[in-house]
Chain A
Amino acid sequence: DTEVTQTPKHLVMGMTNKKSLKCEQHMGHRAMYWYKQKAKKPPELMFVYSYEKLSINESVPSRFSPECPNSSLLNLHLHALQPEDSALYLCASTRQGLVRNTEAFFGQGTRLTVV
């Protein structure tokens, strides 16, 4: 199994809603990443979890709250989002963090629309 699975594929939420994005991998990878991608732009790193601990937070607003309950699962909790947060949210995983020659595996993404 070389897949990173993200759910849901699409999400529409109001600015007062609370929702969560989910990312799962069963490759035994110990680093997992959240990226945000706006239309026609490259992905931007949001968070990195390494061995279930948050190791990088790229100054992301607190309305985005990551969680890594175990080594296979990564969540992104969303609350009080703004319309400009509408984007494709991508999850990725690597064996042990992006060290030396490490291949990254990406999920299909969740297309989020905030109304």
Chain B
Amino acid sequence: KNEVEQSPQNLTAQEGEFITINCSYSVGISALHWLQQHPGGGIVSLFMLSSGKKKHGRLIATINIQEKHSSLHITASHPRDSAVYICAVLNYGGSQGNLIFGKGTKLSVKP
């Protein structure tokens, strides 16, 4: 079992739809990143969360530390939101940690 599981793996939506991507993890963490990667491109950090909820524009990220679960929501989705969304957790402990990545959710928003 992977330490970081994302669902769904693939998601197709119509423009304007509300989108939710889920991330569950099994290790102790000190922070969780939501990352965006466009085809062939680099990775952009959308959010870093250690508790609660953050909002940036049409993007909302929440985390429940007790349940070891995080969600990324996109309101009023747009074709330019099409990308792979990756959940990555910062493993707790040690002086030199590492990001453990989920396999990503490929989102395609149709006009």
User: Interface size on B (CB < 8 Å)?
Assistant: 24
- CB of B26, distance to nearest CB on chain A (Å): 16
A12-20, A59-67, A77-85, A102-110 - the one binding chain B: A102-110
CB of A8 within 8 A of chain B? Answer: no
Indicate if the CB atoms of B104 and A106 lie closer than 8 Å: no
- B16-45 interface mask toward A, CB cutoff 8 Å, 1 = contact, 0 = none? 000000000000001101010000111111
- The number of chain A residues touching the other chain, given as a range, is 20 to 34
Say yes or no: A104-B99 contact (C-beta < 8 A), given A43-B43, A90-B42, A98-B90: yes
The A contact surface, by secondary structure, is loop
- A67-111 interface mask toward B, CB cutoff 8 Å, 1 = contact, 0 = none? 000000000000000000000101010000111111111111101
Indicate if the CB atoms of B30 and A90 lie closer than 8 Å: no
- CB of A74, distance to nearest CB on chain B (Å): 15
Using CB atoms and an 8 Å cutoff, list the residues of chain B in contact with chain A: 30-31, 33, 35, 40-45, 48, 50, 86, 88, 90, 95-99, 101-104
